[in-house]
Each structure stands twice: as C-alpha cells, then as structure tokens.
A and B are shown apart, each in its own frame.
Chain A
C-alpha cells in the first residue's frame, strides 16, 4: 500500500465548534471510561473480590460499581460496596457513559437523517432522553 501522509491542520485553522468539541469529548470519555472501569476493578480486588466473586461478577461491578451488582455474590458484608464514595464513582461513570452513548446515537442518526428539520428533532429527543436517563440512573444509584 502506498503510504498516504496524514495531514492535520494547526488548531487555530481547524475551528472549534460544537461538533469538534464533541468529537474530542468522545475520545476523552472513552479514556475516562477505561480509567473508571479499571479503578472499580482494582477497588473490588482490594475489597476482597478475589476470593468472594467470580470473574463475571467482578466485571459487572467494574462496568458499573453499583450495589445491585454485588448483591447476589458471596461478598459477606455489602456495606463497604455501597459507600457514598462508590456511589459517586458510579454516578461519574453514568454521566460520562450516557453523554458518550447519546451523542453516539445522534452521530448515527445524522448518517441517515439529513434534513435540518429531522436533525433538529433528533437533537431535541436526544436531550430529553439524556436528561431522563441521567435522572433515573442517579435515582437508582443513590437509593438502592
């Protein structure tokens, strides 16, 4: 294959609009999710998951460090798993993942819906949907 030289404009010439910011956000949120998931897995191992949980449960906890994800494991005492600290980590993951996922769905819709009116409707629905999912998610994380 002939090498195609990748060109990237200096930031000043690229322009920084909302789409560009969201493009960057998608990448940074990807890295943030990796960090949060690894953090939750390491936390679980420190809290004794190695002898009390199987791999699938550790992963379940890692993807969302939420109390209901350890309830039917062999963990003897679930109090350390439902501290405000872990609820805060879960909330952070929820916020980042919801913003990433909803924006991703908008990007996909834009590939198939090309009229400005349709795109406006997609954006409106996505904002309502995002706020609703964050509200319900936070309720579940903090009250269960």
Chain B
C-alpha cells in the first residue's frame, strides 16, 4: 500500500523525541500486545481442546510472561499519566517530570515481577 510520509524513513528514525517519544512507542506496543493476547486468550478458552491447551502453553512460558506483564504494567501506568494530564491540561507542562515519576513506579514493580517469574521458571 502506498504510504505517503512527509519525512523519509531515515529521518523518522533519527527523530529524537526522547522520554515522551519512548513512552508513546512503548504504550503502543503494550496496547497492541495486550489486544493480541486478549483476543487469542478468549478464543483459546472458547475453542478449548488441543488448540486451547497449545495456546495456554504459550502463556505459561516465562519469556511470554515477562513480555505480557511489561505490556500490561507499562500501558496501565502510562495510561494513568496520560489520563491525569489530559483531564488537567495544565499538568502537561510537567510531563517530563511525570514520566520520571512513572519510571520510578514502574521499575520496582516490574523488577520484582520479573524476579518472581524467573525464580518460578527455575523451579524455586
């Protein structure tokens, strides 16, 4: 499909939107990741049988859990920041600080979760 961009791909990749740009990309990846997961998960519990068990064995894999928990947690925390600053537009002036707070909340929770997932995967 013809895709008209006003900038070349090379300069798009060079765009340095820094922190806010990163949260936008991760929010998008998280949203799509969850949408795909939720769809497959609902379908799997609907059809059941061999296909359902196969789908479940994917979710139970520790690598998948690390990925999907990233999607969920980041999307939820970043979504709360977006919601708060959209409902009180004055706060958008402080979005860079808000993003630091966001990482300060996200990293410890995610770190503990990854630790627990890996420990469980190692059989502890």
Task: Give the nearest-CB partner of A102 in chain B.
Answer: B35
Question: Is A48 on the interface with B (CB-CB < 8 A)?
Answer: no
Interface size on A (CB < 8 Å)? 31
**Residues from 64 to 114 in B contacting A, C-beta threshold 8 Å:** 72, 76, 79-80, 82-83, 86-87, 89-90, 92-93, 96
Q: Is the CB of A31 within 8 A of B72?
A: no
Q: What is the CA–CA distance of A108 and B32 in the complex, to the nearest angstrom?
A: 9
Task: Give the nearest-CB partner of B3 in chain A.
Answer: A112
**Residues from 21 to 74 in B contacting A, C-beta threshold 8 Å:** 28, 31-32, 34-35, 38-39, 42-43, 45-46, 72
Judged by DSSP, the binding face of A is helix
Q: Is the CB of A6 within 8 A of B89?
A: yes
Q: What is the CA–CA distance of A114 and B4 in the complex, to the nearest angstrom?
A: 9
Q: What is the CA–CA distance of A68 and B55 in the complex, to the nearest angstrom?
A: 15
A10-18, A74-82, A135-143 - the one binding chain B: A135-143
B residues contacting A by CB (< 8 A) are 1, 3-4, 28, 31-32, 34-35, 38-39, 42-43, 45-46, 72, 76, 79-80, 82-83, 86-87, 89-90, 92-93, 96, 116
